[in-house]
Amino acid sequence: MNEIKYIASLDIGAKLTKLAVWVEDGPEGPGPQVFYEIMPSKGIYENAVSNKTELKRNIERMLKSLEARAGFRIREVFVAYAGRDRLIAYTAETVCKTYEEGSSLTVVSEKDLLQVEADTHNCELEKDELIYDKEPVVYLANGHPINGLNVNTYADRFACRYNIFAAHEKDVQKLERGLQEASLQVKAKVCSMRTMNRFYLPGELIPSGTAILNVGASRSQLGVFVDGHLRHYKTFAFGGNVLTHLLKEALGYSPERAEQAKRNEIDINMQLPLTEEVPTSLFVKSNEPPSPLLVVWAEVVTHFKTINEQLREWDVSNLIRNGNGIILTGGGLAFQNIQTYVESLFACMGMPLRVIKPVKTDHPLVPCSEEAADYDPSILGAALSLLAFAQKNGDYSRCGRPAPAAAPEPEPEAAPEEPTPQEPAAKEGEKPQNLLSKGFHQLKSWVSGTIFGDTSFDE
C-alpha cells in the first residue's frame, strides 16, 4: 500500500474547534483534497472537568468522522490551542495519543482533574487577565513575583484557568504538591508525532509571494510562503473578541445587554449604518462622539499597521505585492462587513488583499458540516501548513522560527517560475486598487493624517 501523505490539524480556538485533514491524493481522485469538521468550543475555557470531558468526546467524534470520509487512519495530528487553559492542551494531547494507541494509560483521570480543581480553588486571584506571548508569572500576595525555577514549574505544569496567580508562600507549596500528586505530565509537545512524512505544501498550491493572515477570536497568525515553504510566521494578540468588546462598549451595553447580544437576542448589526463601500460619514469631523464603527475601525487600523510593518521588517513587502498578495481568513472579522474596509485599507497601502469567506459564527453555535459551514476549503491547506510549521518550530503561541538555512529564500526574480495559476490570482488581488472610490481616497487621507502619519510603505 502506498504511503498516504497528509497533514491533520486540530485548532482549539476561543469560539470554534476545527479539525481538518489535507490529503495529497484523496479518495475522490488525484490531487489535493481537504476534509474538515467544526464544533463549538463553548465552555471549554471554564475550569470544569465536565467541559474537558465533552471536548475529549468531540475530538474523538471528529477524528472518526474524518477518517471515514478520508478513507485512512489518522496517526498524526498537529494541535494548536488558544492558550488560556493549560488543561486544554493536555486534554488535546491525551486524546490524540490515546486515540492513536487505543489505550487509556496516558489520559488524566477525572479524579486527577478534580484534585487539581480542589488545589486551585483556594487560590486568591489578584488579576483576571490574559497575557499573550509571555511566560505566565506567579505573584505572591505581597505583590512580589516568584522567580527562577518556580516560574518555569508553573509555566510548564500549572493547570488552572488563569495565567496570573496570587497566593501566600504556603499556598504555592501546597499547589505544587497537589500537582505532583495528580501526576500531570504536561509535555512540551501537545501531540503524538509518529509518522515521518514531513513535508511542506507544494508551490503550485500556495504560490510564492503569498501571505496568509488568519484572524481568530483571540489571536491572529501571519505567515509568508516563498517557493512553497513557510518562511516567516508570527502570532499577534488581536482578534474578533477585542473588536466585539469595543463595539459593545461604544454602544453602551450593560452587562445584561451584552449577554443578550452574545445570545443573539440583540442584533448589533442593525445598530450601524454600513454599506458595501466605505461610508464617507466616517471621515466627517464634528463635535459628536465618534461612531461605534469608527472606534472599532481605529483598532483595526492600529493592528494592521503593525502587521504591515512586520512584512516590511521581513523584507517581503515587494515580494507579496508582486506575487499572490495577502489572503485574509478566519472568523475574527466576520461581522459588520469589516472585511470590506480591510480590503480598502490594504489597497491604500499598495498591498493587494483578498478575503476568503470565513466560517459563520451565528449564535447559538452548532456542529457544522462542510456544506453548512460556509467555509471556503481552499484556505485550509494554507492554514494547515501554518499550524504544522508552528508546531514543528516551538510553542504555537510564540513567533515561529524561519525555515532552516539549508533551504535559502529565493530572490524575487524567481517568481516567474511559479505555475501559471499564480497570475490570475495576482490580478484578482490587484482588483481593489482599480476600484478605489472617492471613499477609498478619503480613507487613505484619513489614515495618513490620523493613524499612520508617514505612509511611505513602499520600499
**Residues composing the chain:** 459
pLDDT tens by residue, the chain, 459 residues = 467 777 777 777 767 777 777 777 777 777 667 777 777 766 555 444 455 667 777 788 888 888 888 888 887 776 665 544 445 555 555 555 444 433 322 333 444 444 444 444 443 333 322 222 233 333 333 333 333 223 323 333 333 322 333 334 444 454 444 433 332 322 222 222 222 222 334 444 567 788 888 887 777 878 887 776 667 777 777 887 777 777 666 656 555 655 555 454 444 443 333 333 334 444 444 555 555 556 667 777 788 888 989 999 999 999 988 888 888 877 777 655 566 667 777 877 778 887 765 544 332 223 333 333 344 445 555 566 655 555 454 433 322 223 333 344 444 444 444 443 334 444 444 444 433 344 444 444 444 444 434 333 333
What lies within 8 Å, CB to CB, of 323 at 6+ separation is 207, 208, 209, 210, 415, 422, 426
Site of grid cell 489572503: 327
204-359 topology per CATH: Nucleotidyltransferase; domain 5 (3.30.420)
Q: Where are the beta strands (DSSP E) in 306-454?
A: 325-329, 353-355
Dig out the grid coordinates for 374 from the structure.
460556509
CA pair distance 350, 358, nearest whole angstrom: 24
Confirm whether pTM is higher than 0.75: no
Residue-range domain boundaries for the chain: 204-359
Reply yes or no: is the peptide bond before residue 364 cis, omega within 30 of 0.
yes
Q: Kindly give the residue spans of alpha helices, DSSP state H, lying in 194-269.
A: 240-250, 255-262
CA pair distance 261, 248, nearest whole angstrom: 9
CA pair distance 297, 301, nearest whole angstrom: 6
Render 64-92 in DSSP notation, one character per residue. HHHHHHHTS---B-EEEE-SS-HHHHHHH
